Amino acid sequence: MTQILIGFFVALAMGLTGIGGGSFTVPALVLLVGLSARTAVGTAFVYAGVMRLIAAPFYLAGKHFHLRYLWLLLQGAVPGLLLGTFLLALLSGDANSQIVVILLGLLLAASSSVSFAPKAQYPGFARRNSKWLPWLALPIGVEAGFSSAGAGALGTVLLLNYSEMTPPQVVGTDLLFGLVLAVIGSALHWTFGSIDGTVLIRLLEGGILGVVLGCLLARRVPAKKLKYAIALIAIFAGLQLVWTGSRRLLGEHSTASAAALPHPAGPSHSR
């Protein structure tokens, strides 16, 4: 039941704002379901891809997307996605699993905090400096490959604060952007075997209803205010990942240190 509820509420946020695929799913799967970081990322990729596939027609029908900006973002994000995915594969062994959890938390908290920096906003940037969009999308792709977050959180922040697009256009463009990355990322994680099929099915059971409801409510809910609320929740989830990963890492270190200590010799028996 927990996994179904996670799927519903994450998909509801995704349908409303375009963000939430990896930003919420990965922390929930690690903290509440108990999946490893690598499996959580792979499962979240497939889940987010299906949800965005369902949501995309709602925004395509209203022509709420910017094709040129989408293409420029993908030019930088796709190579970054490949790099981030292989980086995760290298660091996700048993010896480094808690380090990956901590890095996921730091990336999530840092990227979400950008939403609260109004002085950094520059709506005319994308129109005047469009050649920079692929370079700005490169680290977004790296983070998406490493954590399955970024395409929604950072992509929305970039488009909302540095382009002239309206909020519905930002959400639609970001949904399509995240959809392409999710398809590629899902294929890579499928080959790595880092997807939990049982958990994925439970997420989809709740997510299909959630994403449709979110898309239908998108025109009635003030999306910008909701983004701030989602950013706060994502920051909290990121810090919780850092806390959990740090505690487990310290626990593993203490256990290893104790095991390495010489054991006292038992009592000697003389004849």
Rounded Cα–Cα distance for residues 219 and 195 (Å): 34
User: What's the token pair of residue 40?
Assistant: 């959580």
Q: Token pair of 235, please?
A: 């920051």
Whether the predicted pLDDT of 95 surpasses 50: no
Q: Do the domain assignments include residue 257?
A: no
262 in a domain, yes or no? no
pLDDT at position 141: 84
What is the separation of C-alpha 207 from the centre of its chain, rounded to a whole number of angstroms? 16
Distance (Å, whole) CA 244 – CA 260: 24
Closest CA to 137 of 93, 73, 68: 73
pTM of the shown model: 0.72
Q: How many domains does the chain have?
A: 1
DSSP-H helix ranges across 193-222: 197-217
pLDDT in tens, 160-186: 767 778 777 877 888 888 888 888 888
Q: What percent of the chain has pLDDT over 70?
A: 77
Higher pLDDT pick, 148 / 79: 79
Structure token pair of residue 189: 């994680």
The model's pLDDT over 108-139, given as tens digits with 9 standing for 90+, comes to 777 777 777 766 666 677 677 778 888 988 88
State yes or no: pLDDT of 71 exceeds 90: yes
CA 174 to chain centre: 13
Confidence band, pLDDT 50/70/90 cuts, at residue 97: low
Type of residue found at 80: G
Tokens at 36, concatenated? 């490893």
Buried b (16+ CB within 10 A) or exposed e, 221-231: eebeebbeebb
**153 — pLDDT class (breaks 50, 70, 90):** low
pLDDT score at 90:
76
Is 187 within a domain? yes
Residue 265: inside a domain: no
Full domain range(s) for residue 38: 2-247
Q: Is residue 263 part of a domain?
A: no
Question: What per-residue confidence (pLDDT) applies to 226?
Answer: 66
Q: Is residue 261 part of a domain?
A: no
CA geometry: angle at 108 spanning 103 and 110, to 5°?
95
Quick check: is 259 in a domain?
A: no
User: Does residue 147 belong to any structural domain of this protein?
Assistant: yes
Output the six-digit token pair for 238: 């990121």
In angstroms, rounded to a whole number, what is the distance separating the alpha carbons of residues 166 and 47?
27
